[in-house]
Structure 1
Amino acid sequence: MPFDAFSIAHLTKELNEHLRNGRIDKIYQPDKETVIIEVFHPFPRRELQLLISAHPQFYRAHLVTEKPENPLRPPAFCMLLRKYLQGGRIIRLEQPTWERIIRLQIEVYDPEAGLTTFSLVFEAMGPNSNLILVNGEGIIVDALRRLAETTQREREILPGKPYLPPATPGRYHPANLTRAEWERIFQFSSGEQAIGTVLAKEIFGLSRPLLEETMQRAGVTTTMAVAEATTDLLRRLYDEVIAWHRRIAKEPVCFLYLDPSGSPLDFFPYQPLHLPAERLEPIADVNSAIVATLHRRNQEAVYQQKRAELKSIIKKAIQKAAKKRARQQAELTSAADAETYRLYGELIAAHLHEIKRGQTELVAPNYYHPQAAEVTIPLDPVLSPVANSQLYYKKYNKAKKGLEKIRAQLERTEVELEYYASLESALENSLSFADLLEIEAEMTEAGLLKAKNQPKQQTNTPVKNRPSLFRAADGWEILVGRNNKQNDQLTMKTAAPHDLWLHTQKIPGSHVIIRTQGKPVPPDVLLAAANLAVYYSKARGSSKVPVDYTERRHLRKPTGAPPGFVVYNRYQTLIIEPDPEILARLGAIDPSVQ
C-alpha cells in the first residue's frame, strides 16, 4: 500500500481543509494501535473524526464516519492525550518535505501558562510507526510506543527526552536533488547495479510503487543496469523524479487498483501507467481511497483475527467436553454393573455354608439364568462370607445411585456439545463485526471467555442486530438467525404462534422462520426456507439433508437451556437436495457460484 510521502503530502492538504481551526472535543483509543480524535468545526458546523493508526501493516491517517467500539477504561496514552489536547484548537497539519510524517499543531489554553502549543507527530514508518506528543519546547510528553535507545536505534522515544525526527535513509529527495548531484550519483555507482536499486538507495521519499511509476514514465525497465543507461535516458529519468515535487502542488487524480474480483486492492494519487488501465477505478480523493483500501483491509484483518480467536476457543471447549463425555460414558459402563453386584451378593448369601474364610472365589449356579449357568464370584479372603456378601450389596447400592447421576451428567454434556457445535456453525456464516461481538458476548455469558470489566447495567445488553430477511415468491418473508442470541430472539419473541419454524434435523444451524400470517405456506416457499436452513447450518455443501419444520407454537425452551436450544415433538421432515439457484434468487449467494 503506497501510504508514502507523496500520498501523505496530498492527504495533509485535504485534512487541513477539513480540520484547520477545528476544536478537539473527544479522544478515543479503541485499540492499542489506533487513536481517534473527534473534532468540532464551527464553519460550516460539522463533527469530524480523525483516525490515526500505527498498525505495523495498515498504518494510516484519515477521516472516518463510523463511531468505533471503545473500551470502558481508556488506555493510559488516551488519558494523557485527553489531559493535554482535549478542548484544543487544531492550528494546522504539516508534513516535513518528502517525509512520511504528519504533524498536528494544536493550540491549548492553560489557566496558568496561557496559550500553549503541542505537536502530535504521526510517524508513518511501517512496523516502526508511532504517535508522539511533543510540547512547545520540543520535549516528548509521551508516545504510543515508548522506545529506549539501543545499538540498532539511534534515538529515544521516552517522556522527558528531546524529540528527534527519524533519520532519513538518504541525502536527496525530489525537492532538493540538483542535476549535478544526480549525475554524481550515477558517476560513482557500479555499472552492474540496477538503476532502480541506485534510486532506492540514494533518494528517499520514493516508495516502490512510485519508483516503478517513475521508471515506467521515463522508459526505463526494472532490470536495466547503470551501464546500459544513455545520457538522454538518465536526463529523462531525472526530469521524472523531480516532477513529482511539482505534482504535489497540483490537485491529485486518485485511482483505486482493483483485484480480479473487483475489490479495491491499492490506491494511487495519480494515474499509474505501470498497471493495467482496465483494473483502475477513479475515486474522489486520497481520504476516500485510504478508507476503501487500507481501512477496509484493516477491518477485515481484525474481523478474521477475532473470528479465528473465537473458533479456537470453541474448538478447545469441544475437545474438553468430548473428553468429559468419554469419561462419563466409561463411568456409566462401570455403573451399569450394579445388577451384577446385586447378583453376587445374593449368591454369596445363598451359599454362606459352603464358603470358608480365606477362599478367593465362589463358583455357584446363577438361578436367574435359564440354564442355571455357573458364575465365578471373586471373594476377599480377608473377609468373612457374610462381609463379602455385604461388600457386594454396598457396591450395588453405590452403583445404583451413581447410575442416575452419571446419566444426568452425560445428558448435560451432550447438550453442552450440541451448544458448542451451534456456536461453531454460527461462526461459519457470513457475519458482520457486530454479529461477531454478539457471539463473543454470548460466549462470555456461557463462561467460555473471561468477562471484561464493565458496568452491571451493560452485562445483559439486548440483541442489537436483526436476523437476516429474505423474500420468497409473492413476497413471503423468511427470517434467518445468524447466531444463537438471534435464534432465541427470532423464535421465542419475534415469531407468531402459527409462523412456520425450520431447522436441520439433529444438525447445528440457524433457526428459520416463515411469516405465515395464518395462511398455508406454498410448497415453493417451504422449499426456499428449507434451502436457507441447510445453507446456514453445518450441513452446507451436503446432499439429501433432512429439515424439520413445525409451527412455532409447538416449540418450547427448557428452563436453563443455552441460547438457541429448543425442544419439539410435533413436526414434519422435508429431505432436500440443496439448490444454488433457489439460494441465488433469494440473494443468499452470488449467482456466479451456480
Structure 2
Amino acid sequence: MSLTARELAEVVAELAPLAGAHVDAVRMHAERALTLSLRGRAGDALLLLSAEPDVTRLHAVGRRPPQPDTPYAAQAVLRRELEGARLAGLETLPGDRVVALSFERAPARGGPVRLVAELTGRHGNLFLVDAAGVIRAAAARNLSQRRDLAVGRPYQAPSLPPGGAGTDAGQGALRFPPVPGARFPLSAAIEAAYLAREEARRLAEARRRLREPVRAALARAGRALVKLADEAARVPAAEADRRAADLLKTHLRAVRRGATEVTVTEWTEEGPREVRVAVDPALTPQANLERYYRRYRRIVESAARVEARAAEVRAREAALRALLARIDAAGAADLPRLEREARRLAAGPRPAAPPRRKHDEPAPPYRTFRSLSGATVLVGRGAAENDALTLRVARGNDLWLHARGLPGAHVVVRLEKGKAPDADTLVDAAHLALHFSDARGAPQADVAYTRARFVKKPKGSAPGAVTYSQEKVMLLRTEPGRVERLLAEEEGEQGERGTPVCPRPARPPGARQR
C-alpha cells in the first residue's frame, strides 16, 4: 500500500506550515526511509519519508521508527548536508509521485539543496540534489534502467505517467479519513493505518517463525511413525525365525557343515511335510540354531519398545497439531507462551545465527544456549575458557553453576540486575552443567549455584579452579529430553568438540580439593 498522487498532494499542503523549521536530526530507518527532526516557530515535528516498496509515503509521525543495528551508508552524508539547514518549503514535482523538500544553507556549506523523494513504489528512491542539479547522495543504488542517477551525475526527473502529471491528483476519495483535533489530521490517519499494517505484518512474521519449526517437527514425527510401523511389521517374520529354530533344534544332526539349507520334516495338523530351512554355510549347526533364536528374541523384545515409542510419537504429533492450530489463531501476547510450549516439544525456532567471525578473530570462550523461557546460558569451552567466562564475561548478578565436586564446565546464566532466574532456566542451566562435566550420563547429581560475584579465583591456582560462597545445592534428576532440546538449539557453531572441563572441581571456600 503506497500513497497516491492526490494523497501526497494533500499531505504536502498539510505540512506547508513547517517551512522555516531547522533540521535537528536525520536518521535512516531502512535503506530508502528516513525521518527529519524539525524545530521551528510552528513547533517541533517529525517528518517521515519512505520510498520502501509497498510502504512509499510522506507524512508527519508521532514517534520515530526503530533504528537498525548497523547504520546505512547514506546516513552520514545526509546528516552532514542537512542537519542545521532550514526547510524552505515542500512541493510536488511534475512526474509520478515526486516530492521535493528545499533546504537553505549558508554559502560556506554549499548553498541550497533539495531532497527529492521519488515515492513510486518498487523503483522509489531518495536523492540529495545541489543547486546545480547534481546528485550529491542517494539513499540506495539506482533502480531505473532509463535514467542515469549515479552520484555526481545530473538529476533527471521521472517521465510523466500516461494521461499527464498525477492523473489521480484531483479525483477519487481519500483512503485515510483525517483525525479530528490532531495537529496534522491527514498525517495522523496515515500513520495509524501504517502502524496497524506494520503490526499485522510483524504478527504474521512472528506466527511464521513459530509455525515453520512446528511443521518440520510434524514431518519428523510422521517419518518416525513410518519407521516404527516398518519395525512393527517385522514381528510376524520373527515367528518364522522361531519356527526355523525349533525345526533345527529337533533335526540338528541332519545339518551338515558347509550346507546352505537343510530339508527337515515338520509335523502339522494336516500331517507331516518337508520344509527347507536356510542355514549359513560358514557357521556350525549349533551357531545357526542360536542365530535364529537370537534374531527372534531381538525382534520380539523390541516390539514392546516400538509400540511404546509409537504411542509417544503419536501423542507428540497430536500435541504439535493442536499447537499449530493455536499459533494460526494467536495474538501477539500469546506467542511467547506458545514458543515455550513449542520448545517443550523440541519444536522451537532456532535462534538467529551470530555474525560470522573474521578468520583472525578468536572464538569466544563459551558456547551459547537458550533456556526454555529464552534466557541466555553460556558454557565454558575448557579450563582456561572457564576462567575467562567466569572472571571477565560474567556480570556480578549473573547466575553461576557447576557440577558439585566434579570436574566440569562453568555455566553462566545472563540475568538483569535484581532479577532471579525462572524455574525452567535454572533447571536447563543445571542440566548443561551436568552434561558438560564428569557427571554426564548419570541419572542424578548435585549442582551448586550462586551469583557470579561470589565466585573467586585463588592466586596461583590452576586454570579453571575457583572458590565460591553463598551457594545453594540442588539434587538434579537428569531428563534426557531436556538435554537433547538444549543441544539441538545451540547458537552459533553446532556440534560438540569435547567436554569443556576445568582440571579440578570448583569448591566452596575452605573445602578440600578431591
Q: TM-score category by the smaller chain?
A: 0.5 to 0.7
Percent of pairs identical after alignment? Answer: 21
Q: CA deviation at 1:207?
A: 0.8
Q: Over residues 257-278 of structure 1, what are the superposed CA-to-partner deviations in whole Å (9 max), with x where a residue is unaligned?
A: xxxxxxxxx2267xxxxxxxxx
Q: CA deviation at 1:60?
A: 1.3
Change (3 A) 1:98 1:165: closer
Structure 2 match to 1:218? none
Q: CA deviation at 1:387?
A: 3.9
Letter in 1 for 2:7: S
The answer to whether residue 321 in structure 2 is matched with residue 391 in structure 1 is no
Q: Identify the match of residue 86 of structure 2 among 85, 91, 97.
A: 91
Structure 1 match to 2:440? none
Q: Over residues 148-193 of structure 1, what are the superposed CA-to-partner deviations in whole Å (9 max), with x where a residue is unaligned?
A: 53xxxx21333443321111237xxxxxxxxxxxxxxxxxxxxxxx
Are 1:283 and 1:289, in contact at CA under 8 Å, matched by a contact in 2?
Answer: no
Q: Identify the match of residue 102 of structure 1 among 74, 99, 111.
A: 99
Q: TM-score, structure 1 length as denominator?
A: 0.48
The answer to whether residue 375 in structure 2 is matched with residue 380 in structure 1 is no
Letter in 2 for 1:128: H
Q: CA deviation at 1:424?
A: 0.8
Change (3 A) 1:450 1:104: farther
Q: CA deviation at 1:335?
A: 6.0
Change (3 A) 1:56 1:2: closer
Are 1:25 and 1:40, in contact at CA under 8 Å, matched by a contact in 2?
Answer: no
Are 2:59 and 2:187, in contact at CA under 8 Å, matched by a contact in 1?
Answer: yes
Letter in 1 for 2:28: I
Q: Over residues 106-161 of structure 1, what are the superposed CA-to-partner deviations in whole Å (9 max), with x where a residue is unaligned?
A: 67999xx8567664432122343323344565225334353253xxxx21333443
Are 1:23 and 1:88, in contact at CA under 8 Å, matched by a contact in 2?
Answer: yes
Q: Secondary structure at the match of 2:234?
A: helix
Of structures 1 and 2, the one with the larger relative CO (CA 8 A, separation 6+) is 2
- Write the distance in 1 (CA, Å) between the matches of 2:119 and 2:340: 34
- Write the distance in 1 (CA, Å) between the matches of 2:368 and 2:325: 30
Structure 2 match to 1:207? 168
Structure 1 match to 2:50? 53
Are 2:29 and 2:66, in contact at CA under 8 Å, matched by a contact in 1?
Answer: no
Structure 2 match to 1:130? 125
Higher share of residues assigned helix: 1
**What does 1:27-46 align with in structure 2 at a 5 Å threshold?**
27-29=28-30, 35-37=33-35, 39=37, 41=39
- Write the distance in 2 (CA, Å) between the matches of 1:107 and 1:453: 44
Q: Identify the match of residue 331 of structure 1 among 222, 231, 234.
A: 231
- Write the distance in 1 (CA, Å) between the matches of 2:198 and 2:102: 27
The answer to whether residue 81 in structure 2 is matched with residue 80 in structure 1 is no
Unpaired runs of at least 5, structure 2:
356-363, 376-421, 425-476, 484-514
- Write the distance in 2 (CA, Å) between the matches of 1:458 and 1:64: 39
Structure 1 match to 2:200? 300
- Write the distance in 1 (CA, Å) between the matches of 2:68 and 2:373: 19
- Write the distance in 2 (CA, Å) between the matches of 1:125 and 1:322: 47
Change (3 A) 1:166 1:141: same
Q: Over residues 518-570 of structure 1, what are the superposed CA-to-partner deviations in whole Å (9 max), with x where a residue is unaligned?
A: xxxxxxxxxxxxxxxxxxxxxxxxxxxxxxxxxxxxxx9967459xxxxxxxx
Structure 2 match to 1:12? 12
Q: CA deviation at 1:316?
A: 4.5
Q: Identify the match of residue 359 of structure 1 among 232, 245, 261.
A: 261
Q: CA deviation at 1:290?
A: 1.1
Unpaired runs of at least 5, structure 1:
171-200, 214-255, 257-265, 270-280, 465-490, 494-555, 563-594
Structure 1 match to 2:218? 318
Q: Secondary structure at the match of 1:390?
A: helix
Give aligned pairs, total.
365
Q: TM-score, structure 2 length as denominator?
A: 0.54
- Write the distance in 1 (CA, Å) between the matches of 2:6 and 2:12: 10
Letter in 1 for 2:261: Q
Q: CA deviation at 1:379?
A: 1.4
Q: Over residues 283-305 of structure 1, what are the superposed CA-to-partner deviations in whole Å (9 max), with x where a residue is unaligned?
A: 84110121243553454355446
Are 1:336 and 1:399, in contact at CA under 8 Å, matched by a contact in 2?
Answer: no
